[in-house]
Structures are given as structure tokens and as C-alpha cells.
Structure 1
Amino acid sequence: MSLVTLAIPFFLISVLVELALDRWRGWGLYRLNDAIGSLSAGVLSRITGLVRTGLLLVIYIPLYQLLQPYYETVGFNWSLDNGWHLLLAVVAYDFCYYWKHRIAHEINIFWADHLVHHQSEDYNLTTALRQPSGGLPIGWIFYMPLLLIGLPAELLITAGAIDLIYQFWVHTQKFPKVRWMEWIFVTPSNHRVHHAQNKVYVDRNYGGVFIIWDRLFGSYQEELEDEPCIYGVRKPLNSFDPLAANLQHYKRMALDAWHTKSWWDRLTLWFRRTGYRPADAEAAMPVPSCDLDNFQRFDPQISRGLRAYALLQHLIYSGATLALLWNAAQMSYGQQLAAVALLACGLIVNGRILDGHRLAGYAELARLALTLAAVPLVSAGLSIALAGYILLSALIWWWLAFIDKEDTVAVVSD
């Protein structure tokens, strides 16, 4: 089991602690819909990881074995048990991560995947868990230089997990600047800058663990006291559906390629600077950027009952996801695929409920019917629990979506 999977309970406990403090102190850092949207993207990322093959190790390991004679000649002898070796591996990995992260902001096709992590218009620990679900498998390219120093796959995997886990804690607004840390490490302060869409902050502070790369390569920006961060992306998603989140920029590029009359643009816009759009496609389908002077977060009005239902369903999906991740090794690929499909369907529909989508009522009924079809496929004990869950959910949902007309909650805006 991966270090990241083992860290999930710690992540969730930390979120609950920050949420409790937020409610107690009245900070206003959390909104239910945005938090569920971020967590749903994270859940979708983890479960789809079970059924897709990462190309990094598929390519890295054979090349490492091919270069083994070179490593023996040079004298590379890395060991996971050596603490200094692990530290050097993290530094080397983070250097590669910096360039991967930087390119992810600068090239359309890479931004399409990374964009998911930046869509949240809030900034709290749930934002850290907002991760893409794979996109095009091209990120592995940036870690190939680690073959030059003979870094074995087990150290690559461990260093990558450490790099990712470290980045969790910097997604908070309530940790102040610590001057000495700002020079060496990625901190909450300099990472808040990275998530802001203010002009002065855009495309800055790419490091994962170490901020020294940004200082060396000219991409560092300090958080300014007179320039509060406005979080999110300039062309907002305006949905809490994790599938829509993952497809947002791919869809926009595909539509641009369809509408432009230039074959050169059709072939190259994917690899052009982030935000590039052919002039004729932009004229046909204008997508306005946020007005930062009058910025309002996406916060659709739905009833308290629907909000409570969405929260309950998300908690159920989260519990099912943890069970799936912990027991995946004992399941066949077909069983994993079916479980992932059902969970993904639930996350998508739940996002549409929070959006207040006009078809969400029928979509949830369809999801419950689809889940009912899976009851005969599970064990007897689990089938009873699953059937009970479906029946209870259907009754509550029918009441909330088609009978009850409770007042909607007020819109929250900045």
C-alpha cells in the first residue's frame, strides 16, 4: 500500500480539525459545496488510479535496467535505508517536479490536467486534496533525468510520495509567514500566492517542497500584505462536478480546434502557451475572464435538505473509497472497475446536486437504480446493507427533490 494511501486518514483528520476551528473562530474558510467539490475531485483521482496504468514506472524501470552497467561503472549505489540518500532523492525529485509544475502552467495540454487543482475558489486543506484524475499520461517525461543519477524506482516512488504528502499542509490560510522558512521551503504563505489569480501572483512559486528553485529561476513572488489573494482560475469552472472539472480545459481546446479554420492552429493550439486561442474560435465562443474587482464565488442556492443529503452521500462515498483502497489487492480488475464506475457516478451526480442542476433529481434516481443493479454482484451480507442504503436514499431523495419545497439558502459572496 502506498504512503499516500496510508496518509489519507491523517489528511481527513486534519481537515476536520481545521473545519472545527473555522466554525469555532468564524474564519469563513469553508463552504460545504466547495469543500465537497474539492474532496470529490480527490476521491475520483484516487479511485481511477486503481484502474489506469501510470506510464512512469512502465518506462522508467526498463530503462533503469538497461543502464545498470553504466551505474555499476560510475558507482551509483542508492539505498532506501540510507537517510541521506532519501533526502537527496527528495531534492532531486523536487527539482524535476518544479519543471513539470512550471510547464503545467505554461503549456495548454499540461494545464488541462493541472487546472483541476486550481479551480477551487476557497483555500483550505481540502484544496490540497483536489487532484486531477490523470489526463493525458505525459507527466512522466519530466522525471526521466533521474535516470542519469541512477535513482532506483523504489526511491523514486518514495520521494514522490514524500513530495506530495508535504504539499498537503501548505494549503491553509492560517499559518503566518516564518521568514527563514520562506527562503528554503514551500510554505503556506508562498503557496497561497501560487493559488491566487491576482495579476501579480499568477504563475509564481512552483516548488513542491523547496522554494529555492523559484528563487533560482526567477519565478518567486512573496505574498504582499496590501494584495489579498483571490483564489481560483480566471475562467471559472462554475460546477462542483469532478468530471466536469477534469474535462474543462480539454473541452475548451477541442471546441477551439473544431471552430478554427486554421489547420495549423488545430494541430498546434494544444502545445501553445496556456490561454492561447485562435482568433476566429475566440470570436465564435468568447469566454470572459473573472472581474477581480467585483469577484464573486460560485455558490448556487439549494435547500438545506439537499445540502445535508449531498454531505451524507459524500461521507458514504468517502467511506466506500477507503474500503476499496484498502481491499483492492483482494479484488479482481473487473470488480475494481465496477466499484470505481459506481463511485464515480455518485461523485458526479452529487456535484450536480450541489450545482442545483435542473436534471439532478432524475440523475440521482438513475444512479440509485444503477447501484441497485449491482446488489446481486456482492456478498449476501453486503447486499442487504447496500439494498437498505438504496431504499433509504431513494425515499429521502424523492421527498427532498420532488415533494419538499424548503427555502433555499442564501448566496455567499465576497
Structure 2
Amino acid sequence: MIWNFEHIKDSFDKISQNDPVAYFAPFFLLLILLELGIDLAQKKEWYNKKDAWASIAMGIGSIFLSLLAKLFYIGIYMWIYDNFRLFTLPNVWWVWVLLVFADDFSFYWHHRLSHQVRVLWAAHSNHHSAQSYNLAVALRQSWTEMFYKYIFWLWLPLLGFHPIMMFAMMSVSLIYQFFLHTEAVGKLGFLEYFMNTPSHHRVHHATNIKYLDKNHAGIFIIWDRMFGTFIEEDEEKPIYGLTQNLETYNPIRIASHEYEKIWEDIKKPISWKHRIGYLIQPPGWSHDGSRKTTKQLVEEMKNNVAHSSE
């Protein structure tokens, strides 16, 4: 049988019942309250109340939508695993070590392309829309990203990683990344060389031109170092949010704002080539050059620095 629906249902039940994120949820809330307490006591201004509630609302919404996406992709993964896997990898420690790196490699490319393809950015930008930076922002998950992100993991069941192991590893990565969303932790010494850290992730959330589209790591910063997307946090303080910030805390508007902007662009009286460009070109691309992409902004910044030093 090509589709073993009983097998798929059994796998979904196991993944849902043993999801590590569910066990860590109380600790997430406690740590958010602890960070908020430090913020209030020391007047750090890490939290904006309305922004934090918007992040929590986005997180709640994403939980229900992610269940639908997982149900679909578990079926796809199990179909690939049952019918096309090249190897049968056992549930032993060295396979988990391989999976940690394979999962993180997949996350890096999913994350990087979510910043470089506008229709994907429309989903991912929800997470970046907070103008504050704190542990609550980690809950500000997209409502549509999960419907495409799992495509980047399709090669893993083909190699022989069981989907139950895959989803467990994705949850571990999500838990790790929760702790990156804070200004309460400075640099972590030698860990900065190979691990993703709060310092590296603050850069990722920054709108400063030199920080844009950098540090896409999940757990390991090695991929950014290998593929040229790494930059270190320096004395220039990150400014959080979007290059054009939203003036709303409404979760529905946060989830839909970039899709609305795309629609405004593609309904213009332009060619189909340009309409497709507004979907697949980097954010900031325009058919008439009236806007600028990250690459263009960085080049402009470098030219300005060069001219000012002459």
C-alpha cells in the first residue's frame, strides 16, 4: 500500500503526545515573567505591553494552524519514508547527532530563503514585526510559514530519518531558539564561534542596514560563517522591527500585512513578468527601481562610507 493512513495517524499521535515543546511551555511562561520582572525592576525597557500581548496572541494562533500543517506533512514524510527511503537509520545516538546537523542545515536554508523570497517573507515577517526584543517575541510565530517550511526537510525521510525523530528534533531546535530572544544575556565567549547565541540573534532581528539579512542560524552559527551571512554584534545597538514598521498590534493585521502589500503591487498595470517578480524577488524589489532591496541598501551604505572617507 502506497499510503498507510493508519501508520500516518499512529505517527501523528506519537508526535503530538510526546512533543517536547509541550513540556517546556510552563518554563517559557516562567522565564518571560522573570525577564519582565527584571525589566520592571531595573527599568530596562525591554517590554512593550501591547507588543508582548500581540506576540502571545500570534503564538496561540500558530499552535492550532501548525497542527494542520504537521498532519499534512507527516503524511508526506511517512509516504517518502515508507516507499522511497535510501537507508533505514536506527534510533541510536549517532543517528541523532547526524539529525541535529541535518535539521539545522535545513532550518538555515528555510530561514535564509524566507528573507530572500518576498512571498516567503510575507509569512516570516510576522516574527520580525515586534519593535521590542524579549522572550515573548519567541512566541510571535507566523500563521502561514508552517505551510511551506517543512518542504525544506523533505530530503531527510528520503535518507532514512524517521519522521517521528525529525519532528522531535524540530521541537528541540524551537526550544533552543526560544532562549535566543533576549537582551538580558551578553556575549557567551567561545560559544559565539560555533553556536547561535542571543548576541547573534539580536543582529538577525535588527533593522540596521549592516545587520539586515544576517545570522539565519537555528542552533549552530557555522552555516552563516560557511555561506557568508554572518556578522558579529558590535557597538552599534540593534534597532528592532521592520524597515517599515507596522502601526498595529492586531494579530490578524500582523499576519496579513505583507500579503496585502504584495497584492497592491501585483494588481498594478504591469507585465506578468513584473508581477511574478513581486512574488519571488527579494523584499524591497520593484519593477521601476522605486524601492531598494537589502543588497542595494548595503551597497549604498558602503559607497557612502567610502565617499565620506575620501
Contact 2:21/2:175 (<8 A) preserved: yes
Alignment of 1:203-352 (within 5 A): 203-225=213-235, 227-279=236-288
How far 1:3 sits from its partner (Å)? 1.9
- The letter of the residue matching 2:273 is W
1:195-235 Cα deviation digits (max 9, x unpaired) = 0000110000011000011111111100012x110000101
- 2:192 is aligned with 1:182: yes
Distance 2:89 2:262 in 1: 45
When residues 260 and 4 of structure 1 are mapped into structure 2, their CA distance, relative to the original with a 3 A threshold, is farther
Structure 1: gaps spanning 5 or more residues = 284-288, 290-414
How far 1:56 sits from its partner (Å)? 2.6
How far 1:26 sits from its partner (Å)? 1.5
- 2:86 is aligned with 1:77: no
Query: Which of 172, 185, 189 is the matching residue for 1:162?
Result: 172
Contact 2:81/2:158 (<8 A) preserved: no
- The letter of the residue matching 2:75 is V
User: What is the match of residue 157 of structure 2?
Assistant: 147
Distance 2:244 2:271 in 1: 24
Contact 1:195/1:231 (<8 A) preserved: yes
SS in 2 for 1:94: helix
Distance 1:104 1:37 in 2: 22
How far 1:174 sits from its partner (Å)? 1.5
Identical counterparts, % of pairs: 34
Contact 1:257/1:266 (<8 A) preserved: yes
How far 1:59 sits from its partner (Å)? 1.5
Query: Which of 111, 114, 118 is the matching residue for 1:108?
Result: 118
SS in 2 for 1:269: helix
- The letter of the residue matching 2:24 is A
Distance 1:91 1:142 in 2: 14
Contact 2:80/2:158 (<8 A) preserved: no
User: What is the match of residue 300 of structure 2?
Assistant: none
User: What is the match of residue 52 of structure 2?
Assistant: 35
The one of the two structures with greater contact order (alpha-carbon pairs below 8 A, sep at least 6) is: 2
1:238-296 Cα deviation digits (max 9, x unpaired) = 1111111111111110111112422222234211122223339x69xxxxx9xxxxxxx
Query: Which of 46, 66, 76 is the matching residue for 2:63?
Result: 46
Query: Which of 9, 12, 17 is the matching residue for 2:34?
Result: 17
User: What is the match of residue 308 of structure 2?
Assistant: none
Distance 1:220 1:165 in 2: 22
Distance 1:14 1:219 in 2: 30
Q: With the length of structure 1 as denominator, give the TM-score of the two structures.
A: 0.63
Structure 2: gaps spanning 5 or more residues = 1-16, 292-296, 298-310
User: How many aligned residue pairs are there?
Assistant: 275
- 2:191 is aligned with 1:191: no
Query: Which of 83, 95, 99 is the matching residue for 1:89?
Result: 99
Distance 2:74 2:269 in 1: 38
Which has the greater radius of gyration? Answer: 1
How far 1:52 sits from its partner (Å)? 5.3
Distance 1:136 1:260 in 2: 32
Q: With the length of structure 2 as denominator, give the TM-score of the two structures.
A: 0.84
Distance 1:164 1:56 in 2: 18
How far 1:60 sits from its partner (Å)? 1.5
- The letter of the residue matching 2:249 is F
